[in-house]
Amino acid sequence: MNKISSTILKSVTKPGRYAGGEYGQIIKDREKVKARFAFCFPDTYEIGMSNLGVRILYGALNAHEDIWCERVYTPWVDMQEKMREHNLPLTAIESGDELLSFDFVGFTLQYEMSYTNVLAMLNMAKIPLRTKDRGEDAPIIIGGGPCAYNPEPVADFFDLFNIGEGEEMLPEIVRLYIKMKDEGRYTRAEFLHEAARTIKGVYVPSLYDVSYNEDGTIRAYTPVYDDIPTKIEKRIIVDMDKAYFPEKVVMPYIETVHDRVMLEVYRGCIRGCRFCQAGIIYRPVREKTPEVLDKQAKCLFESTGYDEISLTSLSISDYTQLEELTNKLLCWTDDKMINLSLPSLRVDSFTKELMDKIATVRSSSLTFAPEAGTQRLRDVINKNVAEDDLLRAVNVAFEAGKTSVKLYFMEGLPTETDEDLAGIPELASSVLRTFYKCPTHNKAKKPQVTISVSCFIPKPFTAFQWEAQDTIEELERKQEYIGSKITDRKIRYQHHDAKVSRIEAVLARGDRRLSDALELACREGFMFDAWDEYFDYDKWISVLERTGADPAFYANRAFGLDETLPWDIIDCGVTKEFLLRERAKAYAENTTPSCRENCSGCGANKLGGERTCCPKAKQK
């Protein structure tokens, strides 16, 4: 049904990105459809098709007979040139219809550097960028995903945000739209007010006025109506066994990032790493039972034929029934030659038994994330992993014949010293020494340790949300310092671009005043800023300066502990008091045990009723 001509498809790279017609796509009878939803992933087809959240929400919306959800991805630059040449608007994959004909256009906001793609897609769809400029018949623009926990930098471009998990919330929003249409009382303004008033987790930025202090900090958020919430509380799915999960997925014609069954084992995290936003916003922990997971895995294998099943979560080794689950899966996956992979194992729970079971660990390379080079700094960030844990884990791997290890670290963490930075290559050297001490290592092969160092970004809803990011000069100095301490060629060193991390920090901690900069960036053709070949730091700085935005105000300023933060309009379930306690413990170099060991009173258990993240939480 896609309407892009074959002539155009033949003239671009990877025409499978746009052709449609994939096995598993959902086509509906237009006569029975009352609302159409264009689900946009603001990056390439290969990345978007691999996103589990998109797969789930696509199916959850299409489970309603009178709702038709279709997919949209950011066209690559060669296709965009053809679209401009032939005056073609952005269209949906399934029907080929332009986005202006849809009732809803939704975007998942997975990373801040995709914001320019969001605006580029609205531009390509000929939809006015700003909410205030859209007419009565324009689609409702919805945002969701992890970046929606600070929606303010893009608030002026979205009609509403769904805060939290969307399997139940998104259909509720569309059903309200259908109801108001059927009753003949729909207007954009009335719909947005009604959604904000009646649906938990809905945030309509235009219904909140923001005032500022003389120093540029936020004074207050003020609702324009008395019957809408002063803070928007996130939505969660309480019982994951009953949560929607697709029995079929769309099968791409081209290779994507993750061509595999992705089995969501649980949501949330019992760990409390103080730099980690995901570990906070996805609380409380809610597990699926092995029986449900086994059934879902079989169903997806039968409908896809994929030869790999990836058990996904923030920390798979924290799943309380991991042994039972893997045993159930191995009962039939081995016979069918299906590999199991666990992409998020912690070093303190890595065992030979797991390595023997899991395909990912059978490869020549293993990946672990110590995050910091010294125990002192690991205590500051509450990583709760010791050097002995890492060396024990790599020794298990080396005994089994593995030769390559990749280690993830961060630089620029609060309280960090050069001694902590020097600890990164020292830890890599310890891993190499462990290899040579291993009596069973393959002497014919040389070991390889790769250290990958990213720049710390103070993210909303973390214990470090108030901290200043290091300046560009300091981040780059630290990168050079780490490199100067590496003398062994068997240690490879990679690091992220500090300039990208600075812009990411600006967008992560920004407020509504950044909308002018983002709109100007769109007008000047910014897009694919998450891709090295298209990111231009100097152009970003120019756009910020020309619109009166100071990047240092957002990225390099320590926020006041009593300051109203741009994301204070959102209630993620974890209290600010808890985050402040964690920040104080970080500076005291004290750790906090996992939720399973002891409930530290973060507040998230109130969202889950009796299905809390910690059995002891009910005692608090």
Q: What is the pLDDT of residues 62-94, one digit of tens each?
A: 999 999 999 999 999 999 999 999 999 999 999
Q: What confidence score (pLDDT) does residue 617 get?
A: 43
β-partners of residue 106 are: 39, 142
Q: What is the pLDDT of residue 606?
A: 81
**DSSP class of 235:** B
- Predicted confidence at residue 23, as pLDDT, reads 93
Residue 456 near residue 411 (C-beta atoms within 8 A): yes
Report residue 55 as tokens: 């797969």
Residue 522 has pLDDT above 60, yes or no: yes
Q: Tell me the CA distances in angstroms from 592 to 150, 272, 386, 595, one per residue in order.
A: 26, 7, 14, 9
Percent of the chain's residues with pLDDT above 90:
85
Query: Which residues does residue 492 pair with via DSSP β-bridges, in sequence order?
Result: 450
Domains 6-233 and 240-513 share a fold: no
Give the model's confidence band at 608: pLDDT under 50 very low, under 70 low, under 90 confident, else very high. Answer: low
For residue 447, the one-letter residue type is P
Given a cut of 80, whether residue 500 has pLDDT beyond it is yes
Q: How confident is the model at residue 443 (pLDDT cuts 50, 70, 90)?
A: low
Q: Which two tokens stand for residue 212?
A: 């500022």
Q: How does pLDDT run across 174-196, given as a tens digit for each residue?
A: 999 999 999 999 999 999 999 99
At residue 32, the pLDDT reads 96
Q: What tokens were used for 186?
A: 């729909």
Higher pLDDT, 620 or 138: 138
Residue 16's alpha-carbon distances to 27, 68, 93, 386, 393, in angstroms, are 18, 22, 10, 47, 42
What is the structure's pLDDT at 467?
A: 98
pLDDT-derived band at 145 (thresholds 50, 70, 90) equals very high
- 240-513 fold: pyruvate-formate lyase- activating enzyme (3.80.30)
CATH T-level fold of 6-233:
Rossmann fold (3.40.50)
Q: Give me the residue spans of the domains in the chain.
A: 6-233, 240-513
Specify the pLDDT at position 361.
Answer: 46
Handedness of CA 593, 594, 597, 598 (dihedral sign): positive
Give the model's pLDDT for residue 502: 98
Nearest to 450 by CA among 505, 412, 394, 497: 394
610 has a pLDDT exceeding 50: no
| Mean pLDDT across 228-238 | 97
Supply the mean pLDDT for the chain.
93
> CB under 8 Å to 574, separation ≥6 — which residues?
280, 281, 283, 461, 602, 603, 604
pLDDT, tens digit (0-9, with 9 covering 90-100), for 383-435: 999 999 999 998 988 887 888 899 999 999 999 999 999 999 999 999 999 99
